Amino acid sequence: MEEFDIEALLSSNEKTIIRLLEDYANVNNIIAYVIDNNGDLKSSFFGNLPTDGIFEQISEMKNLNKITEKHQEYNLSYADAALRVSVLGQIVGKVCCIEPANRVNGQNFGMISYELGQHSRFLKRLIESVGHLLINEHGIGNFMIKYPLEVDDIIDELNDDDSVALQQLRHLSTSNDSIISAIEYIDDNLDKHLTLDQVSNHVFLSDYYFSKLFKRETKLSFSVYLNARKIQKAMMILKQTSHSISEVSEELGFTRMSYFSQTFKKYTGYTPSDFRNEEYLEI
């Protein structure tokens, strides 16, 4: 497994990007920083920090993504922009801009948020442009972290109980934008043979990070969720139409009817024909 190392990019070429961020923050009287997809801080806080101790408190937070939702609780104006590595086609983190409220007294907060949005988008383009040059110069391999496949990761995949996956779908809830987008993409393409790579690329995340995030948010692995949704739709088609089992299998992107039947029984406890013939069974 590999993951892009945004911290290595920031520190490359004697910290070229870090020095640019620091200068920009000081000149524009804002505070800027960079986090990865997990919300971990990958740079310092750049700019003229207030002396009220709030940033010491923030820097101790395990997940700085919380500031996105709760910046007003910290009395901060906030904006961010996602950072994407074009050669990978992945979002690798965010550049964030904030302004303590005590600096903007008497000013329109809507205008401050708009200006911070402009700053964050400019810094996004700056980091991505300089990063592209550094990656071309040094090679993408110098900015990748290689993770060994851990036993826990394998166990996570084995822990999914196929027989309760359909029940899990009924109670699924997530507020994560990437996972919501992925689920919508899956639902729109149940007739295709989708892969983890295809869906993770659609939401601009690495397959490794996406699979961990998907399991955390849905409590199901990607493969179990995908098959459960296909079987859920198959149940509806079998009950509501006269399509043959072979046609249902093809409609849902299964390459072999025998595999469709095996999967259907694994998730429901019934063969497709038994399920269709049992009138008392509910969808």
The domain boundary, picked from 99, 125, 144, lies at 144
CATH number of the domain that 219 lies in? 1.10.10.60
Domain count, the chain: 2
The domain boundary, picked from 144, 173, 200, lies at 144
Note down the domain range covering 127. Answer: 2-144
What are the backbone angles phi and psi of residue 91, rounded to the nearest 5°? -80, 130
How many other CB atoms sit within 10 Å of the CB of residue 26? 14
* pLDDT one digit per residue (tens) for the chain, 283 residues: 678 899 999 999 989 999 999 999 999 989 999 999 888 889 988 998 876 666 677 766 767 877 777 777 777 888 999 999 988 888 999 999 988 766 655 556 677 888 999 999 999 999 999 999 999 999 998 898 876 545 455 445 545 566 678 777 877 888 888 999 999 999 999 999 899 989 999 998 888 889 989 998 888 899 999 999 999 999 999 988 999 999 999 999 988 899 899 999 988 888 999 888 875 445 4
Burial class of 34 by CB neighbour count within 10 A (0 to 12, 13 to 18, 19+): buried
In angstroms, the CA 32 to CA 34 distance is 7
Q: Are strands 76-85 and 31-36 parallel, antiparallel or unpaired?
A: unpaired
Same domain for 107 and 229? no
In angstroms, the CA 178 to CA 170 distance is 20
Q: Where are the beta strands (DSSP E) in the chain?
A: 2-4, 31-36, 76-85, 90-100, 144-146
CATH number of the domain that 76 lies in? 3.30.450.40
Contact present, 144 and 206 (Cβ < 8 Å): no
- Residue 17 located in a structural domain: yes
Same domain for 137 and 161? no
Same domain for 28 and 156? no
Same domain for 161 and 100? no
The domain boundary, picked from 144, 177, 205, lies at 144
Same domain for 15 and 138? yes
- Residue 86 located in a structural domain: yes
Same domain for 159 and 272? yes
Same domain for 9 and 128? yes
Could you tell me the maximum CA-CA distance found in the chain, to the nearest angstrom?
73
Residue 74, C-beta contacts closer than 8 angstroms, at least 6 positions apart: 54, 58, 67
